Structure 1
Amino acid sequence: MNIELRDKVAIITGSTLGIGFATAKGLAEAGAKVVLNGRSQAKVDKAVGALRDLVPNAEITGVVADLQSAEGCDTLVKAFPFCDILVNNAGIFGPQDFFETDDATWQRYFDVNIMSAVRLSRAYLPAMADKGWGRVIFLSSESALNIPEDMIHYGMTKTALLSISRGLAKLMRETGVTVNAVLPGPTLSEGVAEMLAEDVAKTGKTLDEVGRDFVKAARPSSIIGRPARVEEVANMIVYACSKQASATTGAALRVDGGVVDTLA
């Protein structure tokens, strides 16, 4: 399959590292004009430079915006008023005891993980519908279906994204715009590597080995028995953004390694 997006503008939020950066690389390789986003100028500049090295002929730019606030979302929209592809990847995660999770933490997760995607989808979808083509992706998680007891605050936000993406797909019916959610399982991103760093230091095992141990302990239902690579998740996102995926909408596309034990 030859995915070709040469005439498309793609915005990927939270894309200086991890799944977001891998997605930006995949979309750039498909010919899309890629807009990277992060919260610091140094990180955005570094990511733009790295992506230009990896995909030399691509058209790549970046914008600094903290999407936790309405003002940050407005900064992004003012810098890039239109896009054909929006990947709502910006998000935060981390384990925390439910009884020690205060209101401010719940609100922060809501603002970053949910409202950034809501605000940007509200800003970009109307023009996509007018044009008759568009792709919006919400980065949910297997934790949306398999709520972890140590990250209830996180799982809640990812479940909400499934509702929003499904509802928006219906709202965009027969417009040529598709809206989907992608559900990664444990993925060996920089953030997860940082979370596992202490175990790597303690055990003397490699990151891959510690990652496998983590999956077997924390997600024993995993069929692949290891964390996914960021590129494996990005492959699904790039496909869902493609012209070939025109009949895929309102879907929850799992890249969870089989963690969620369901036939659907």
Structure 2
Amino acid sequence: MDLGFKDRNVLITGGTSGIGLAAADLFAGEQARVGIIGRSAVRMDSALKALRTAHPEAKIVGFVGDVAAEESLQQAVDAIVAELGGIDHLVNSAGIAGTLGDPVDQVPAEEFLEVQRVNVLGAFLSVKLTLPFLKKGVNPTYTLIGSDSGFVTAPGMLAYNASKGAVAQLTRALSVELHEPHGIRVNSVCPSIVDTPMARDGMGVESFSGVDYPVSTPQDIGWLVLTLASPKSRAVNGVSLLADYGYHARSSFPA
């Protein structure tokens, strides 16, 4: 099926690893022009090399920038627009987990704020700074990467839970504000555990092999990103799509 991305311009924050990199690979495979932003120059070089090797005919560019620092992000966005010529779709995949496992009275305020700064302020700035370009885009969309942690909780994840709950509500608010006047759809994908470097680090494991719970691949979530961003999904707006194998629907009733 033609998903409608040929010759479209896609910008992905957090595009140097995990879900963001998988989405970049899939968009390039759909003949989109792709720009990625990440904080690490080393990971940027590695990601660009892998993407260009896999898709030698595609236009793929990348610039180092911090989604939570407005000037840095503006410079990266402007550089990518200069290369691609515009932005039709933005995927905000940049995020951090913070330290997991600490109870509320042991979470430093600075660390709590840092998680909000990257996960919430970063999403806000990514939308704010790209909006002038998406207003001119073709079938424009924002797709934010949320988490099932915006809907369900586990002890020791307070800062992350709060940030992803904010992303779910930001998705709703932006979908209302941007759709009618500008034709921009806004959705989010909210997975449970995904086998990424961030998840392995946060869980303190080297591998998810053999665990007794389902774990998605970055490609699994990348395909959901493409599904929501595709003009084939033009009726879908303001949705935070849970991708948790149905765990949110389970009752605690012992039956």
The answer to whether TM tops 0.5 is yes
8 A Cα contact 2:208 2:215, kept in partner = no
8 A Cα contact 2:67 2:125, kept in partner = no
Partner of 2:124: 118
2:134 aligns with one of 113, 118, 128:
128
8 A Cα contact 1:68 1:108, kept in partner = no
2:238 aligns with one of 242, 250, 253:
250
Partner of 2:66: 66
Distance 1:123 1:8 in 2: 19
1:158 aligns with one of 156, 164, 167:
164
Quote the offset at 1:123 in angstroms: 1.8
Distance 1:72 1:102 in 2: 26
TM-score, normalised via structure 2 length = 0.89
Quote the offset at 1:208 in angstroms: 1.6
Partner of 1:191: 198
Quote the offset at 1:192 in angstroms: 2.3
In structure 2, the CA distance between the partners of 1:39 and 1:189, relative to structure 1 (3 Å rule), is same
TM-score, normalised via structure 1 length = 0.86
Distance 2:196 2:137 in 1: 35
Aligned length: 244
Partner of 2:95: 91
Distance 2:131 2:233 in 1: 18
Determine helix, strand or coil for the equivalent of 1:147.
Answer: coil
8 A Cα contact 1:138 1:180, kept in partner = yes
Q: Which moved more, 1:150-159 or 1:4-13?
A: 4-13
Structure 2, unmatched stretches of 5+, are none
Determine helix, strand or coil for the equivalent of 2:78.
Answer: helix
Determine helix, strand or coil for the equivalent of 1:5.
Answer: coil
Distance 1:96 1:195 in 2: 9
Aligned AA (2:122): S
Partner of 1:208: 209
Quote the offset at 1:173 in angstroms: 2.6
In structure 2, the CA distance between the partners of 1:243 and 1:195, relative to structure 1 (3 Å rule), is same
Aligned AA (2:225): I
In structure 2, the CA distance between the partners of 1:84 and 1:108, relative to structure 1 (3 Å rule), is same
Aligned AA (1:242): S
8 A Cα contact 1:142 1:259, kept in partner = no
Aligned AA (1:88): N
Quote the offset at 1:75 in angstroms: 2.2
8 A Cα contact 1:4 1:31, kept in partner = no
Distance 2:10 2:63 in 1: 13
Aligned positions of 1:216-235 closer than 5 A: 226-235=214-223
Distance 1:130 1:54 in 2: 30
Q: Which moved more, 1:74-83 or 1:109-118?
A: 74-83
- Sequence identity of aligned pairs in percent? 27
Quote the offset at 1:197 in angstroms: 5.8
Q: Which moved more, 1:79-88 or 1:244-253?
A: 79-88
Question: After superposition, what is the alpha-carbon deviation per residue over 1:29-77, rounded to whole angstroms, capped at 9, x for unaligned?
Answer: 1111111121122210110010111222211010101223222222222
Partner of 2:51: 51
Aligned AA (2:135): A
